[in-house]
Amino acid sequence: MLRPENKRPVFFNPVLIQMPVGALTSIVHRVTGILLAAGIPFTIYILDLSLQSDQSWSRVVHLLDAWPFKAIAIVFIWALAHHLLAGVRHLLGDVDVGSGLISARRSAWMVNLGGLAVGLLAAGALL
Amino acid sequence: MRFSIFRFDPERDKKPYMQDFEIELEAADRMLLDVILRLKARDDSLTIRKSCREGVCGSDAININGRNGLACITNVRELKEPVVLRPLPTFPVIRDLVVDITRFFEQYHSIKPYLINDEPAPERERLQSPEDREKLNGLYECILCACCTSQCPSSWWNPEKFVGPAGLLQADRFIADSRDRATRERLDDLNDVYRLFRCRSIMNCTEVCPKGLAPSRAIERIRLALVKDSL
């Protein structure tokens, strides 16, 4: 049966709804989680390839020397750093550390900037 | 001052649309509701729900420039132009800025928002120490305007299963009440992957609460109570 409210429109457009820094951090936390999970098969493949023989090890080194792979590595290092920091922020929040609004805003900024800083360091080291 | 307001008349419009308005602010225009009412005097089809006009009843909760709030306690002169007014997100629109929050109240009722105490009532009243009464501060003040629940991503995706920040704040209000005797049942009811644990501590609820309350802290207290209870 059609519920009466089904005939009624709903305003719901996340792009038009303001996202405070905590919400943005949460979205990035999810995106980095998906990226990291999606990268696992590739990482295992590269690890397996590197362990097969001296030649395959050289192939992996050569492969990772190409700039597209370096760019991917930088993105993954940023994703790992952001995801790790955001996870620690959640764990601390669960035990009542930094879960007030002001400190939560501050820690969300720290997670975002910390992730970016690690990504930039990785870029500096790899490029 | 320029406004862009969400319009929908179920008897006339097939789809909602945004309508632009322009109005000169007068000295007496302090809050957003003052200006909306002046716009309504100009176009009486413009619909908003309001009652106390001082942040007590929670009727005029709307989405103001992307952020939920009460029109009656939002300083109109601090808003960025054009001021974009929309109904509370995710609730069915009855007309213009008025939404149907039945679903919100269903979740609120699900936490049994009343004192449960089967012990014989004393002759005068159930007394409470000042310290125990203190524990209710920051919980009892909720006016059920739905600003928090409507800005909560966990409620967006699971409105039927997740109690939502307002309901959980009220749950904590009764768990914290020294006169209530149903703490065990209340915690058992909330110990659920959706009802309570769908909260991801995003804290949009606390960001937008027009009464300055912290539903996210209340949710955290319930989680901690469940952990303590399980040890």
Pair (B112, B191) in one structural domain: yes
Any residues with CB less than 8 A from the CB of B17 and at least 6 apart, and which? B6, B7, B8
Instruction: Return the pLDDT at A79.
Output: 97
Residues in B closer than 8 angstroms to A5, CB to CB, are: 92, 100, 102
Cis before B82? omega within 30: yes
Q: What is the residue whose two structure tokens read 């606390």?
A: B206
Residues in B closer than 8 angstroms to A22, CB to CB, are: 201-204, 207
Q: What does DSSP assign to residue B62?
A: E
Written as six digits, the tokens of A54 are 């001296």
Written as six digits, the tokens of A98 are 């930094």
* B151 pLDDT above the threshold of 70: yes
Binned at pLDDT 50, 70 and 90, residue A6 comes out as: low
Which one of B67, B99, B131 terminates a domain?
B99
The pLDDT mean for chain B works out to: 96
Asked if B204 lies within 8 A of A22 by C-beta distance, the reply is: yes
Instruction: Return the pLDDT at A101.
Output: 94
Chain B residue with minimum CA distance to A30: B200
Look up the CATH number of the domain holding residue B207.
1.10.1060.10
Instruction: Return the pLDDT at B87.
Output: 98
Burial bucket for residue B78 (CB in 10 Å: 0-12, 13-18, 19+):
exposed
* A105 pLDDT above the threshold of 50: yes
* B229 pLDDT above the threshold of 90: no
Pair (B110, B162) in one structural domain: yes
* B168 pLDDT above the threshold of 90: yes
Question: Treating both helix axes as pointing N-terminal to C-terminal, what angle do A67-94 and A54-65 enclose, rounded to 10 degrees?
Answer: 90
Pair (B79, B23) in one structural domain: yes
Look up the CATH number of the domain holding residue B94.
3.10.20.30
Chain B residue with minimum CA distance to A13: B89
- pLDDT tens, residue by residue, B63-114: 999 999 999 999 999 999 999 999 999 999 999 999 999 999 999 999 999 9
Instruction: Return the pLDDT at B95.
Output: 96
Three-class SS state of B188? helix
What amino acid is encoded at B154 in this protein?
S
Instruction: Return the pLDDT at A1.
Output: 42
Min Cα–Cα distance to chain B from A97, Å: 11
Pair (B92, B167) in one structural domain: no
Which one of B99, B128, B149 terminates a domain?
B99
Pair (B167, B193) in one structural domain: yes
Question: Which of B8, B91, B153 is nearest residue A23 as measured by Cβ atoms?
Answer: B153
What residues form DSSP beta bridges with B6? Answer: B18
Task: Supply the range of the domain harboring residue B141.
Answer: 102-230
Binned at pLDDT 50, 70 and 90, residue A2 comes out as: very low
Given a contact cutoff of 8 angstroms between Cβ atoms, the answer to whether B118 and B184 are in contact is no
Asked if A9 lies within 8 A of B67 by C-beta distance, the reply is: no
A61 versus B18: which is more confidently predicted? Answer: B18
- pLDDT tens, residue by residue, B104-150: 999 999 999 999 999 999 999 999 999 999 999 999 999 999 999 99
Pair (B53, B111) in one structural domain: no
Pair (B78, B118) in one structural domain: no
B167 versus A66: which is more confidently predicted? Answer: B167
Pair (B148, B226) in one structural domain: yes
Question: Treating both helix axes as pointing N-terminal to C-terminal, what angle do A67-94 and B215-230 enclose, rounded to 10 degrees?
Answer: 70
| Topology annotation, domain A23-126 | 3 helical TM bundles of succinate and fumarate reductases (1.20.1300)
Q: What is the share, in percent, of chain B residues with pLDDT greater than 70?
A: 100
Q: Select from B51, B64, B30 the least CA-distant residue to B147.
A: B64
- For chain A, what are the domain ranges? 23-126
Residues in B closer than 8 angstroms to A16, CB to CB, are: 66, 84, 86
Instruction: Return the pLDDT at B24.
Output: 96
Asked if A5 lies within 8 A of B100 by C-beta distance, the reply is: yes
Question: Which of A8, A26, A95 is nearest residue B93 as measured by Cβ atoms?
Answer: A8
Asked if A93 lies within 8 A of B220 by C-beta distance, the reply is: yes
- pLDDT tens, residue by residue, B30-60: 999 999 999 999 999 999 999 999 999 999 9
Among the ranges given (A85-89, A118-122, B11-15, B203-207), the one the predictor scored with the smallest mean pLDDT: B11-15
CA dihedral defined by B132, B138, B140, B145, rounded to 10 degrees? -170
| Torsion sign (Cα): A30, A31, A35, A36 | negative
Which one of B99, B123, B138 terminates a domain?
B99
3-class SS shares of chain A: helix, strand, coil, % to 5: 85, 0, 15
**What whole-number distance in Å separates Cα of residue B11 and Cα of residue B95?**
9
- pLDDT tens, residue by residue, B185-199: 999 999 999 999 999
- Give chain B's domain count: 2
Any residues with CB less than 8 A from the CB of A6 and at least 6 apart, and which? B92
Q: Torsions phi, psi of B180, nearest 5?
A: -85, 145
The pLDDT mean for chain A works out to: 91
Question: Which of A7, A22, A95 is nearest residue B202 as measured by Cβ atoms?
Answer: A22
Asked if B214 lies within 8 A of A94 by C-beta distance, the reply is: no
